[in-house]
Amino acid sequence: MASVEHSDGQGLSGGEGVRRRDFINIAAVSFAGVGAVAVVLPLIDQMNPSADVLALASTEVDLSAIQPGQAIKTTFRSQPLFVRQLTPKEIAEADKVDPSTLRDPQTLEERTVDGKKQWLITMGVCTHLGCVPLGAGEGENRGEFGGYFCPCHGSSYDTAARIRKGPAPKNLEVPKFSFTSDTAILVG
Amino acid sequence: MVRIGAFLVGLFFAGWLLVSFLVGAYAYVTEPPAKTVEHEFHLAPKHVSFSFDGPFGKYDQQQLQRGFQVFKEVCSACHSLKFVAFRDLAALGYNEAEVKAIAKQWAIKTPDVDPATGEASTRDPVPADHFPKPFANNVAAAAANNNAIPPDLSLMTKARHHGPAYVYSLLTGFQQQPAELLKEFPDAKTPEGLHYNPYFANLNLAMAPPLTADGQVTYGDGTKPTVDQMAQDVSAFLAWTAEPKLENRHRAGLATVVFLLIATALAYMSYQNIWADKKKAVA
Amino acid sequence: MSFPWAEHYTPKHPVMQWVDEKLPLPRLVYNAIGAGYPVPRNLNYFWNFGVLAGLALVIQIVTGVIMAMHYGANDLVAFSTVEQTMRDVNAGWLMRYAHANGASFFFIVVYLHIFRGLYFGSYKAPREMVWLLGLVIFLLMMATAFMGYVLPWGQMSYWGAKVITGLFGAIPVVGEPIQTWLLGGFAPGNASLNRFFSLHFLLPFVIAGVIILHIWALHIPGSSNPTGVEVKGPQDTVPFHPYYTAKDGFGVGVFLILFAIMLFFAPNYLGHPDNYIEANPLSTPAHIVPEWYFWPFYAILRAFTVDFFFVPAKLLGVLAMFASILLLFFLPWLDTSPVRSGSYRPTFRKFFWILILDVLVLGYCGGAPAEEPYVMISQVFAGYYFAHFLIILPLIARFEKPLPLPNSITDAVLAKYAKADGEPAAVPAE
């Protein structure tokens, strides 16, 4: 921790003529420099997520209570997570859209797991400025495309949570997840 | 003026301390302080060596696993371990699935809130959880334990002088109250419900001997579970719970000291170098 | 400020020239701890401790700011957030142990720095202000260390806070209201913890400020030296840089080795085990002791056991403890000997070593339980402490016959090498 002083003390010492070429002084200053860098590493690393935060980096979600057409809002890594079971009608609506016409082209297949197309799992974080969109709760405004609607600046997402209108640049993010059974997923 | 004032203040303090000394010394000679039973019969912890002693010490994972087993089967019924999480057990050599299983099968459940009713409920612990406490609060703990609250064990070996040796000595130190003690201090008979243990600060411990018979737990690795062995193992385990980063610390320390020795030697040579022309010079 | 022969700052690089014109900070540094500060050529290793104290403060501020990132100043969570820092935060154990042991090393270095000043008469004119400011730093350090020790909210934290604030309760009439005011309650609690945290964060920066004044005041007359003879000409000095930066670099290395050994291999040696037990207002530790650096003062506090007429012993102890530090402020006017350095004062030197022994014994007694014979020993040694500064030093100054002083620093250096001739590898300029 102190090598700062140390290097200070010696770093300047090369300043005058003959001494600059002195191997010992250069070696001493270099060692102090290496030491200072080695000390800085843990000082930086301590700001990274701690072990208890990392331990909560994955979340299990039980799907058994979610009926078609319903969604729940839960949390994943301290941020909202939307878990929705799409109705066949919503799936059809999503499939009807030609991806090439979208701002962020993706098909519903690409956003869901093979064979479990009805389960749409997305972050509840608007890709514009990070607000929580409406639409996961019962009776909330789902916007003109029937998915999610962000009240902050009016971004509308469709039934596959793809951006259709408004300022948001991207579709709602689909986190990494896997099915641990037919009715449970592990996110993260 | 300053010196006269100082002289008077100095005379007052020094003089009154001398008076205090004489008063104290007189009392000390005429009525020497009574010997206390703790002073006479309390014992320093036994000498016991562990793999993690010394600057190169490391934990013995096998021993920690055995110690954990003793904690699980014996201590955890009454003692909490609130600063340790199940995930930390990975350091004992358990893999992720094993840690998950240990958490899930833990006898004490983690308090939770029923998501449907909002009422207090419990659930199986997960690796991210800390070890659940056996009692909901201190009142419950005292009520269930003859008014003595079993202390949390997470930091026990750092919260006592010579921690691991102390825990080991305490666990193996229960005994009959010696006859000389009762002869010298007839009033010091161990009260009903307490247990005599010369390694405990006031000699009488509320905890009944927890390790009573060889074979109380069955070790998976074939080690013979004598009382002595179990006491050593659980002491080692508690040393780990108190100082889980000991191995990182020793490793980092060794590297740091070696580095600093070289750097300091260089600094010394550089210092000599720079001063070489100034040693004897007149200007 | 400096001597006429001091080297002048002449920036070579155009960028440095530009900076120096707008803000002469490089010039300031150059004249303070660079080649522009001429320093006596005969300083020994005891002159390393000023720089080391500065380094210790830097270590404390860096690790302390980091600890604050992970700490919760609330009586419900303080203990567990510190534990969590030790267990879960990346390198958290390193930060915590470095901060706790850093405090001890700060005091070790500062005590050596103070005793250097006492032996070599550094407090004497014209450096009284340097000494006074140093004492202010010392008092601020004590306050900071005390409040910092409360923050982990262990048993010793809690009971230490209770005992020390209780000292104010000894003051007649206003004592108890002051104690309640300090704590923000009737016993240490969440309010106390929060204000201690706030002040513990603030005071180190105040210390840093007073250190700047301390160094400023030092640069007016320039550094003292082991002979106590003032600098007479350019031949007596060397530029601070590179001569003393090099020497300090070596000193820093030695300091860090000792610090690392403590930090990595015996991090809890200087602490008390009871502070690993969470604060419990219902159960007092068997022996309440402060951290080791307060032990001599704690011994003085406890040495007063007899009431002085209407003045209770407790109040006397409190007064004596504060007096034991405050009397140092008068030292420049108590010791009137014209000779500065203890090396040329045979009588003073004997009593100086008695004082060292005295303080060590007081320290031992302060850390021991408050029972006999420790109390009696503290009474004798505390009595000597006061007598030493308030009675003996002024008397020595009056009656002592000092040894002949060298004519100049250079004379002293040459005499030393003349004596050591034949050993070409003599240690430079000690």
Residues B154-207 pLDDT 10s: 999 999 999 999 999 999 999 999 988 888 898 888 888 899 999 999 899 999
Structural tokens at position C50: 């000023």
Whether B253 contacts chain C with CB within 8 A: yes
Domain that residue A89 falls in: 53-187
- Local structure of B93: helix, strand or coil: coil
- Residue C391: other Cβ atoms inside 10 A: 19
Measure B163 CA to nearest chain C CA, in Å: 9
pLDDT at residue A115, as a whole number: 85
Binning pLDDT at 50, 70 and 90, where does residue A153 land? very high
Closest Cα in chain C, distance from residue B225 (Å) = 30
Axis crossing angle, helix C313-326 with helix C295-303, rounded to the nearest 10: 140
Helix residue spans in B114-245 (DSSP H): 138-144, 163-172, 179-184, 227-242
B222: left (phi over 0), alpha (psi -120 to 50) or beta: left
Say which of A1, A3, A5 has its CB closest to residue C51: A5
Given C291, C314, C358, C378, the catalytic residue: C291
Phi-psi region of A173 (alpha: psi -120 to 50; beta: other; left: phi over 0): beta
B266–A31 C-beta distance less than 8 A: yes
pLDDT higher than threshold 90 for residue C82: yes
Structure tokens at C27: 């010039």
Residue contact A1–C63, C-beta within 8 A? yes
Q: Residue A9 pLDDT > 80, yes or no?
A: no
Reply yes or no on whether the pLDDT at A1 is more than 50.
no
Q: What is the distance in angstroms between the Cα of A150 and the nearest Cα belonging to chain B? A: 27
What would the mean pLDDT of C17-36 be, rounded to a whole number? 93
- List the beta bridge partners of residue C278: C154
CA of C16, closest CA in chain B: separation in Å?
26
Q: Which ipTM was obtained for this model? A: 0.93
Output the pLDDT for position B146: 85
DSSP B160: S
* A69-127 tens-digit pLDDT: 889 998 898 899 999 999 999 999 999 888 888 999 999 989 999 888 899 999 999 99
Contact predicate C337/C397, CB 8 Å:
yes
What is the rounded CA–CA span in Å between residue C358 and residue C378? 9
Q: Does C86 touch chain A (CB under 8 A)?
A: no
Q: Does residue C424 carry a pLDDT above 60? A: no
Look at residues B231, B237, B196 and name the one whose alpha carbon lies nearest to residue B216. Answer: B231
Measured in angstroms, the CA of B249 and the nearest CA of chain C are apart by 6
Q: Which two tokens stand for residue A30?
A: 């270099």
Q: Are A154 and A122 within one domain?
A: yes
C-alpha span between B73 and A147 (Å, rounded): 53
Cis peptide before C242 (omega within 30 of 0): yes
pLDDT of A7 > 90? The answer is no
**Per-residue pLDDT, C115:** 97
Angle at C377 between CA C373 and CA C380, to 5 degrees: 145
Q: What is the pTM of this model?
A: 0.91
- Crossing angle of the two packed helices C313-326 and C374-387, in degrees rounded to 10: 40
Q: Do A9 and C246 touch (CB under 8 A)?
A: yes
Residues of C in contact with A19 (CB under 8 A): 242
Give A147 or C423, the one with higher predicted confidence. Answer: A147
Which residues of chain A lie closer than 8 angstroms to B269, CB-CB?
Answer: 24, 28
Based on the domain organization, do A1 and A79 belong to the same domain? no
Task: Look at the block and give the residue holding tokens 């405004």.
Answer: A141
Can you read off the two tokens belonging to residue B140? 């419950």
Which candidate from C376, C382, C394 shows the least CB-CB separation from B3? C394
Q: What is the pLDDT of residue B281?
A: 56
Please count the structural domains in chain A. Answer: 2
Per-residue pLDDT of C282-317, as tens digits, reads 999 989 999 999 999 999 999 999 999 889 999 999
Which one of A153, A173, A178, A180 is the catalytic residue?
A153
- In sequence order, the β-bridge partners of residue C174 are none
Say whether both A178 and A111 belong to one domain. Answer: yes
**B interface test, pick of A25, A43, A59 with most B CB neighbours within 10 Å:** A25
Radius of gyration for chain A, computed over Cα atoms and rounded to the nearest angstrom: 27
What percentage of chain B has pLDDT greater than the value 70?
98
B125 CB-near residues (< 8 Å, 6+ apart): B86, B103, B104, B106, B109, B110, B131, B132
What CATH number is attached to the domain comprising A181?
Answer: 2.102.10.10
pLDDT band with cut points at 50, 70 and 90 for residue B233: very high
For residue C414, the model assigns a pLDDT of 86
Q: CB contact, 8 Å: B10 with chain C?
A: yes
A9/A59 same-domain check:
no
Helix H or strand E encompassing B150: none
| Residue C47 near chain A (CB below 8 Å) | no
Give dist(CA B86, CA B129) in Å, integer.
6
Residue A23: per-residue pLDDT: 87
CB environment A141-154: b (16+ within 10 A), e (fewer):
ebbebbbbbbeeee
- CA-wise closest residue to C153 among C162, C142, C141, C166: C162
Same domain, A81 and A158: yes
**Averaged pLDDT for residues B29-49:** 91
| pLDDT for the residue A21 | 53
Which residues are A79's β-sheet partners?
A76
Question: Do A13 and C246 lie within an 8 Å CB cutoff?
Answer: yes
**Residue A47 predicted with pLDDT over 70:** yes
Residue A11: per-residue pLDDT: 42
Q: Is the pLDDT of residue A15 over 70?
A: no
Q: Are C52 and C252 in contact (CB under 8 A)?
A: yes
Taking the C-alpha atoms of residue B121 and residue C228, their distance in angstroms, rounded to an integer, is 77
CB < 8 Å from B in window 239-268 of C = 242-243, 246-247, 249-250, 252-254, 256-257, 260-261, 263-265, 267-268
What is the model's pLDDT at position B283? 43
Is C262 within 8 Å of C256 (Cβ atoms)?
Answer: no
Greater model confidence, A60 or A34: A34
Between A181 and B247, residue with greater pLDDT:
B247
The shortest CB-CB distance from B159 to any of C252, C277, C376 is to C277
Cross-chain residue pair A13–B270, CB shorter than 8 Å: yes
Minimal Cβ distance to B274: which of C84, C242, C268: C242
| pLDDT band (50, 70, 90) for residue B280 | low
How confident is the prediction for chain C on average, in pLDDT? 94
Q: Which of B89, B266, B268, B271 to mutate to test the interface with A (most CBs of A within 10 A)?
A: B266
Which tokens hold the place of A6? 């140390």
Give chain B positions within 8 Å (CB) of C376: 21, 24-25, 28
Residues of B in contact with C321 (CB under 8 A): none
Examine the pLDDT at A5 and tell me if it is beyond 80.
no
Same-domain check for residues A86 and A20: no
Residue C105 Cα distances to A108, B148, C246, C255, angstroms: 63, 40, 22, 9
Interchain proximity C333–B242, CB inside 8 Å = no
Average pLDDT along chain B? 93
Q: Do A37 and A59 share a domain, yes or no?
A: no
- Taking one residue from B and the other from C, the number of pairs with CB-CB distance under 8 angstroms is 185
Q: Which of residues 19-38 of A touch B (CB under 8 A)?
A: 19, 22, 24-25, 27-29, 31-32, 34-35, 38
Long-range contacts of C194-198 (CB under 8 A, 24+ apart): C194/C73, C194/C74, C196/C147, C196/C148, C196/C150, C196/C151, C196/C161, C197/C68, C197/C71, C197/C73, C197/C147, C197/C151, C198/C73
Q: Which residues of A touch B259 (CB under 8 A)?
A: 31, 34-35, 38
Which one has a higher pLDDT value, C372 or C79? C79
Residue of chain A whose alpha carbon sits nearest to that of C94: A42
The one-letter code for the residue type at B164 is P
Each residue of C381-401: pLDDT tens digit?
999 999 999 999 999 999 999
Interchain CB contact of C39 with A (< 8 Å): no
Per-residue pLDDT band for A10 (boundaries 50, 70, 90) equals very low
Q: How many residues does chain A have?
A: 188
Same domain, A134 and A102: yes
Instruction: Compute the count of residue pairs across chains A and B with CB atoms less than 8 Å apart.
Output: 46
Is A153 known to be catalytic?
yes
Contact list in A for residue B270 (CB cut-off 8 A) is 10, 13, 22, 24-25, 27-29
Burial B18-40 (b: 16+ CB within 10 A, else e): eebbeebeeeeeeeeeeeebbee
Whether residue A19 has pLDDT greater than 90: no
A88 and A139 fall within a common domain = yes
SS3 B264: helix
Q: Are residues A181 and A92 in the same domain?
A: yes
Q: Tell me the three state secondary structure of residue A121.
A: strand
Same domain, A20 and A69: no
pLDDT of residue C425: 42
Mean pLDDT, residues C420-429: 49
As a whole number of angstroms, the distance between CA C311 and CA C277 comes to 37
Among C238, C316, C414, select the one facing B16 at the smallest CB separation.
C316
What was the pLDDT predicted at A2?
A: 37
Peptide bond into C406 cis (omega under 30): no
Average pLDDT, chain A: 86
Most A CBs within 10 Å: which of C16, C31, C90, as the mutation test of the A interface? C90
- With 80 as the cut, is the pLDDT of residue B113 above it? yes
C-beta atoms of A28 and B85 within 8 A: no
Q: Give me the mean pLDDT over the C163-187 stretch.
A: 92
In terms of domains, do A28 and A67 share one? no
Confidence at residue A18, expressed as pLDDT on a 0 to 100 scale: 53
Output the CA angle C381-C386-C387, nearest 5 degrees: 90
Q: Print the SS3 string covering chain C.
A: CCCCCCCCCCCCCHHHHHHHHHCCHHHHHHHHHCCCCEEECCCCHHHHHHHHHHHHHHHHHHHHHHHHHHCCCCCCCHHHHHHHHHHCCCCHHHHHHHHHHHHHHHHHHHHHHHHHHHHCCCCCCCCHHHHHHHHHHHHHHHHHHHHHHHCCCEHHHHHHHHHHHHHHCCCCCCHHHHHHHHHCCCCCCHHHHHHHHHHHHHHHHHHHHHHHHHHHHHHCCCCCCCCCCCCCCHHHEEEHHHHHHHHHHHHHHHHHHHHHHHHHHCCCCCCCHHHHCECCCCCCCCCCCCCHHHHHHHHHHHHCCCCECCECHHHHHHHHHHHHHHHHHHHHHHCCCCCCCHHHCHHHHHHHHHHHHHHHHHHHHHHCCCCCCHHHHHHHHHHHHHHHHHHHHHHHHHHCCCCCCCCCHHHHHHHHHHHCCCCCCCCCCC
Q: Are strands A79-85 and A71-76 parallel, antiparallel or unpaired?
A: antiparallel
Residue C100 has pLDDT above 80, yes or no: yes
Compare all CA atoms of chain C with the CA of B254 and give the residue at the minimum distance: C264
